[in-house]
Structure 1
Amino acid sequence: MVKALIFDMDGTMIDSMPWHQKSWVAFCERQGLDIDVPDLMRRTTGRTGIECMVELFGDISREQAQAHVDEKEAIYRELFAPVFSEIAGFKAFLGHAQSRGLSVGVGTAGDRHNQAFAYQRLSLGQTLHTVGGDEGLPGKPEPAIFLEVARRLDVAPEHCIVFEDAPLGIEAARRAGMRAVAICSSHTSDELGGPHVLARVPDYHALITSRFLETVHATTA
């Protein structure tokens, strides 16, 4: 029985990953760092901002790491704001889910500033139950963020389906004991597999067309 849907945010709700990559490039240039940004993203997408900065800079203080996070994410929001877009069909799919009585939450490595940025531009007209990467929980592939969303929704993990676009997030769902749907917006279908993955799709229009919610027998119980 499916009782709740838990969405990652970047690359899953909003089409932001190309702009995160661009912001990493700009940030590293400002810092005088010559690194393989695509490789950095493969290793860190789904991890918290602090974790990413420790990965990049090594042994730095939490205060310095946070300052770097704030700078990098400000660059991201400045770049993405003029061309902001959702993953195709997200808001329509969200509406279908809520009309069926399903609980909805968000589990993201994004901090409260990126959350506010996304929600304002999505114009959802509501506040989704959200657990973010600045709440002190370990980032993905650890399951803590998804488990905390389920706890706040008061839904057992086995009754949740996670929607994710990154391998670390797909793995976090598995570790949380949740099934998953792979949104292949920033990774290939082959990179987002697993026995717990119910579907691998390019966007939410594919889920609406295939009547995914009806197929998994979502109920209002």
Structure 2
Amino acid sequence: MEEVYAARASGPGTGERHRTTPPYQAVLFDMDGVVTQTAAVHAAAWKRLFDSVLQDPRLTGHPRRDPFDIDADYRRYVDGRQREDGVAAFLASRGAEVPSGCPNDGPDAWSVPGLAARKNALFLEAVADQGIRAYPGTTALLVRLRDAGIPVGLVTASRNARTLLAAAGLGTAFDVIIDGQTAAGNALPGKPDPAMFLAAARRLGVAPRHTAVIEDAVAGIQAGRRGGFGLVVGIDRGGHREQLEIAGADIVLG
């Protein structure tokens, strides 16, 4: 993670190499898989949800009922996205349909928001059992950036961000947090749309071209690239370097 301080990056398709001026005027971090060690917990919760849903006779459409792939399906359809978007994307990939429902549907409702709420309940149950840890390399980088007076923001689809950060001992680590709650309250579309990253940059008062984005999800890398951010760093913790590079990461660290 310290390589962010001395990155050399080339814009995709430009053929030009340029030396960055680390650590940029601001740095925006994703949370799950970048700051906190929660990506695997999310993936397991999604698998529990979808493996159950795929066997439910209430599914309509022309569903394929092969189980959720905890690696490929997680990264392709749900990683980095808002929960409802992830539910819709995965079910569409299987040719399955459930009612659109109402935004406030609870975990017992047979609807897209209901399934999203059920997944969140499974995730929080696992967190209560396992606890939360931060990645030491990210924590060290956050300390270095803050000591240098570089503003830092968190941009995550999670609606539990503040609770999880506090549990990981990082409750005051970020100058700005744009999370799922913020997105819902301000009608911001989720990743891969760049709106959440752009909102964080505006609140920090730094132009995107002077801001670095650090992400481990393809959807997040795509959002950083589409938003015109000066450096988009991919974090590969599971052998997905090529996918992150294809999505538009300037460099991939792992």
TM-score between both structures, scaled by the size of structure 2 = 0.71
Unaligned segments of structure 2, at least 5 residues:
1-20, 57-64, 92-96, 106-111
Q: Map of 1:1-221 to 2, 5 A cutoff?
A: 2-31=24-53, 32=55, 34=65, 35-38=67-70, 39-41=72-74, 42-55=76-89, 56=91, 57-63=97-103, 64=105, 65-81=112-128, 82-111=130-159, 114-126=160-172, 128=174, 129-134=176-181, 135-136=183-184, 137-178=188-229, 179-193=231-245, 197-202=249-254
For 2:162 and 2:179, the matched residues in 1 are separated by 11
| 3-state SS of 1:193 partner | helix
Equivalenced residues, count: 200
Amino acid in structure 1 at the alignment position of 2:155: G
For 1:200 and 1:51, the matched residues in 2 are separated by 26
For 1:29 and 1:174, the matched residues in 2 are separated by 33
Asked which structure has the greater RCO (Cα within 8 Å, sep 6+), the reply is 1
**Aligned Cα RMSD in Å?**
2.2
For 1:58 and 1:196, the matched residues in 2 are separated by 33
Alignment CA distance shift 1:118-1:187 (3 Å)? farther
CA deviations over 1:105-159 (Å, ceiling 9, x no partner): 0111111xx2133211221251621111342321211111111111111110001
For 2:253 and 2:29, the matched residues in 1 are separated by 14
Amino acid in structure 1 at the alignment position of 2:149: G
Higher helix share: 1
Alignment CA distance shift 1:58-1:175 (3 Å)? farther
* Comparing 183-192 and 149-158, the one that deviates more: 183-192
Alignment CA distance shift 1:150-1:120 (3 Å)? same
Identical pairs, percent: 29
TM-score between both structures, scaled by the size of structure 1 = 0.80
Amino acid in structure 1 at the alignment position of 2:144: H
The answer for the alignment partner of 1:207 in structure 2 is none
For 2:242 and 2:166, the matched residues in 1 are separated by 33
Unaligned segments of structure 1, at least 5 residues:
203-221
* Comparing 179-188 and 154-163, the one that deviates more: 179-188
Amino acid in structure 1 at the alignment position of 2:235: I
